[in-house]
Structures are given as C-alpha cells and as structure tokens.
A and B are shown apart, each in its own frame.
Chain A
Amino acid sequence: MNGVLAMVLWAMSTWVGFSVSMRYQARPAAIRRLRGALHWMETEIVYGQTELEGIFRHLEAREEGPLAQLFDELASALAAGSRDFAPLYGAALRRWLPKARLGREEQSVLLSLGEVLGKTDRQHQIKHLRLAESALLEIETRAREEEAKYARLSRTFGFLFGLALFILLL
C-alpha cells in the first residue's frame, strides 16, 4: 500500500514540477504573441487608419485559442455600439487573463492601454502602443531569463522531490 502511495506522490510531484516549468515556458511565448498583435495594431492604425472593430476582427482571425476569443469579444462589443469602450475592454481583459498564462506586469500594461486605446489621434496612439510594446519587450526579456533559470530547475526539483518522498515512504 505504501509503495502505491509513494508512486502516486512521486508522479504528482513530477507533474507539479512540469506544470511550473510549462508556465515559465508559456509566459514569454504569450507575451511575444501579444507584442505581435500590438505591432500589427500599430501598423493598421498608421497605414490603414482601420477602425478598432476591424483591427480586432483581423486579430481574431489571425490568432487562435483564448487570445482569438478576447479579440472576438472586443470586436463584438464595438459592433454593438457600446457607449463606453474602456470599461468593456477592462472587463473582457479580466475575464481572459486567467486563461492567458500572463504575469501581473503584462496584465497591468494591457489594462493601462485600454484606458487610451482609440481615444486620441494617430500620433498619440502610436506613442501609447510603442510604449506598451517596449514595456512588453522588457517583461518578455525578463520572462525568458526566468524561463532559462527556472524551467528546467522546476522539472528537476519536482522529479527529485517526488523521488525523495518515494524513498522516505518506502
């Protein structure tokens, strides 16, 4: 009986280690996708003067998974003729964030962007988008460093901690 329990705990500890490691790996990738989306948004604003609804629709088609759902929700809110966009953006973002594997810093960058998105002229929009992009780039760099440091460590730690439990319980 002890043997079975020890095996289960070992497996669980290894799984937790891999989960933590995957979070470290997923975060920079998610930030990179966001940066790509913001860059595309900037291009559309600068060269196409495309309205936000159109931009979100394009992004919805370009992305997949939860990010596509977020852009779909934003485009639908604009199509419905919402009177105040910023609170809707904030609410949609907060619903999406738990699925997004993002950290607090990048969440805060995205929420701040929602306060100004679409509200000012082209020059200001470019400034705000570039500011958000460069903030995300910094966060991504740090996230990559963390990934390099901790992703493998988490996997190894999870495996070894489980092994230690296994030996102790036997």
Chain B
Amino acid sequence: MEVIIPLLEERLLDHLPEAVARSLRRMAPKALEAVEEIRLRAGRPVEIVTRTGGGLLTPDGRLQENPAGAVSASIEDVRRTFAVFARHSVYALEEELRRGYVTLSGGVRVGLAGEAVLDGGRVSHLKAISGLNIRLPRAVHGAAEPLLPYVWDGQRVHSTLVIAPPRAGKTTLLRDLVRLLSDGVPRFRVPGHRVAVIDERSEIAAAEGGVPTFDVGARTDVLDGCPKEEGIVIAVRALGPQIVAVDEIGGEEEIRALRLALTAGVALLATAHGDDVRALAERPSFRPLIEARLFARHVVLTRAGGSVTIEGVYDASLRRLAGTGRATLDEVGRR
C-alpha cells in the first residue's frame, strides 16, 4: 500500500515553497508516487530522489540532470520551510537540532544541513539552516514476507539484525516485519506476538499523540520518541513483550541495552547501517554482539537497480543460509 501521494498532498505540499509545490503538483502521478526525497538547498536547484534515481525539478514537473532551468530554493525558502516544520518554534527543537533531523507527523524525516555550533569540541546543535532533506516514509505491505521462513522457525522468532546502507529500505522492512509478527500470518503458520517498538525517531510507527499512523500490527505497543537504550529497558520491564523492535542501532549504550533484552529472553528486531555483515562485524561496537551470536539472523539489503533487494540472510555464525532469493521489496509490494 503506497501512501506517498496522500502524504504529500495532505501534509507537505502546502508547507513547501510555492514554486516547488507547484512543480510537484505538475508531476505525473506515477512519478510522484516514486518520490523518496525532496532536497532543498539554499540558492541551488531542488533535487528529487526517486526509487529509480531522480533529478533536478523543473517548473513543469519533470526531472532533469542539467541544473539550468531547474526550480531553485532561496535561503529564505529554506528557512521559512524549516520554520513551518518547526511550527515556528525552533527553540523547542533543541534535541533535534543536535541530532540533525526533525521528524514530522506521518513519519516524514527532515535531515538538516547548516552551521554546526560546537560545545567542548562536540556538536551542540545546528544553526543557520541552509539545506533540508525531506524524506518520505514508505509502508509496503508484504515487504518482509520473504524473510518469514528465516525469522520464524515454527517454534520461535529469531532475533534478527537488518543491515543496509542508507535509503535501502531498512525501516520499511522492519515496519512490515513488526506488522506481520504482531498480527500473525496464518499462511506461514506464524501466530501473533506482543511486540514493543522503541521508535526514537518516530519513523517506524509515525505515531501522532502516541497513536501509530502506520499499521504496525494489532499486538504492538509503541514507545514513541524514546531513546533506544532507555526504551528497551522500559519495554522489557513494563510491557512484557515477546519481541522488541528498534531502528538504526549503533551506540555502545544501545548495544548494551540490546544485550540486556536478548538475555531477558525477548527476541529482537533491529536495523543497522552497513554494506555487509562481515564489515559490520569488524566495527568495535558490534563485534561483541556478533561474536556472542546474539542475533540468530542477519539480513543484508542492497539497493540494486533502483529497487530494494534482500541480498542475503545469514545465521548467527554469518553463514549464508541456502535458498535466499533476490526478492525485491517493490516486487513483493505489488503482489
């Protein structure tokens, strides 16, 4: 189920600079459906990233390589758009300005570019915002079905780590996996499970007022905006989940919390940035997790030919499991 056009029309277009919104409205519905990112850079052409590539936006809604004649965003456009996203209360986004992104309602994530303010040698926050990367979330029902035979062995859910580079569909896959395991899938004889989603960036469930706007399953509890390390502990203690799901792990404290959940007998679904499982295993923060074989499944995604692809599924010892196909999320989503 694609949600991009309603999301754009209902929540975003009115907030974008007039010229950009006008051009996007002129795009063909099919092209608009494929939009993944809208990038506004002060004084430069507006870039649109789609599933198949993208280009620079022209006034008549086409995408081109050549910057000449493309729609540009002024510094005022960028700042005004950011002010709207911040609901004219930039001061209330201190944590977001430190992390470098803002999550809007509907799970839209806006990456920020600007001038870093340092405090004691570390980034305190960003100021003078000059670029916005507006990233639209996707809900592709059925995207995670090819994984079910690996994640569910007929008795229990295996803890699974999804590894992929940015924009490869990690969150999409995790969201659908959560939904499937929460609702249960009679076709695969998977029963429903209690799932706790620690949604630090409000991207998995895109909760509004604590209520998920994406379908994350009937038995799913969401801790929205909660730091992962604390959220995992709270969920394990308070929500009694059978599965805990977190997106984009990487910090040492997060990994310590993951170990706690894994040793508490809860299955984990997590994602991490990386190109392949062996490179990930070399990273100091992940090495103990991999060496302790805490994740029984490692799923590697690639972005081959513009579509999201499951490159391989590996077991706890990083052995590639037989029979892994190259099912693309797009193909599955269309089924």
Partner-B contacts on A (CB < 8 A): 45, 49-53, 78, 81-85, 117-122, 124-125
Closest to B128 in A: A120
CB of B127 closer than 8 Å to a CB of A? yes
B91 engages A121 (CB within 8 Å):
yes
B92 engages A50 (CB within 8 Å):
yes
Within 8 A of A (CB), among B94-135: 94, 97, 125, 127
Partner-A contacts on B (CB < 8 A): 14-15, 79-80, 83-84, 86-92, 94, 97, 125, 127
B91 engages A118 (CB within 8 Å):
yes
From B90, B94, B97, B125, contact of A119 by CB (8 A) = B90
From B80, B87, B94, contact of A51 by CB (8 A) = B87
CA distance A120 to B88 in the complex (A): 9
CA distance A50 to B84 in the complex (A): 16
A83 engages B89 (CB within 8 Å):
no
A121 engages B89 (CB within 8 Å):
no
Residues in A with CB closer than 8 Å to B86 are: 118
Closest to A77 in B: B88
Nearest-neighbour CB distance to chain B for A34, whole angstroms, equals: 20
B interface, over-half SS: helix
A51 engages B84 (CB within 8 Å):
no
Can you list 23 contacts pairing A with B, beta carbon distance less than 8 Å? A49-B91, A51-B92, A52-B87, A52-B89, A53-B89, A78-B87, A83-B80, A83-B84, A85-B83, A85-B88, A118-B86, A118-B88, A118-B89, A119-B79, A119-B88, A119-B90, A120-B90, A120-B127, A121-B90, A121-B91, A121-B97, A122-B91, A122-B94
A119 engages B83 (CB within 8 Å):
yes
B91 engages A125 (CB within 8 Å):
yes
B80 engages A84 (CB within 8 Å):
yes
CA distance A122 to B96 in the complex (A): 13
CA distance A121 to B79 in the complex (A): 13
Closest to B95 in A: A49
B91 engages A78 (CB within 8 Å):
no
- CB contact under 8 A between A81 and B94, given known A52-B89, A121-B127: no
From B15, B79, B80, contact of A81 by CB (8 A) = B15
Chain B CB within 10 A, most for which of A49, A50, A85, A121: A121
CA distance A124 to B97 in the complex (A): 14
Given A118-B83, A118-B89, 20 more pairs with CB closer than 8 A = A49-B92, A51-B89, A52-B88, A53-B88, A78-B87, A78-B88, A83-B14, A83-B80, A119-B79, A119-B83, A119-B88, A119-B90, A121-B90, A121-B91, A121-B94, A121-B97, A121-B125, A122-B91, A122-B94, A125-B91
A118 engages B94 (CB within 8 Å):
no
Nearest-neighbour CB distance to chain A for B130, whole angstroms, equals: 14
Closest to A124 in B: B91
Residues in B with CB closer than 8 Å to A85 are: 83, 88
CA distance A52 to B83 in the complex (A): 12
Closest to A50 in B: B92
Closest to A88 in B: B88
CA distance A49 to B79 in the complex (A): 20
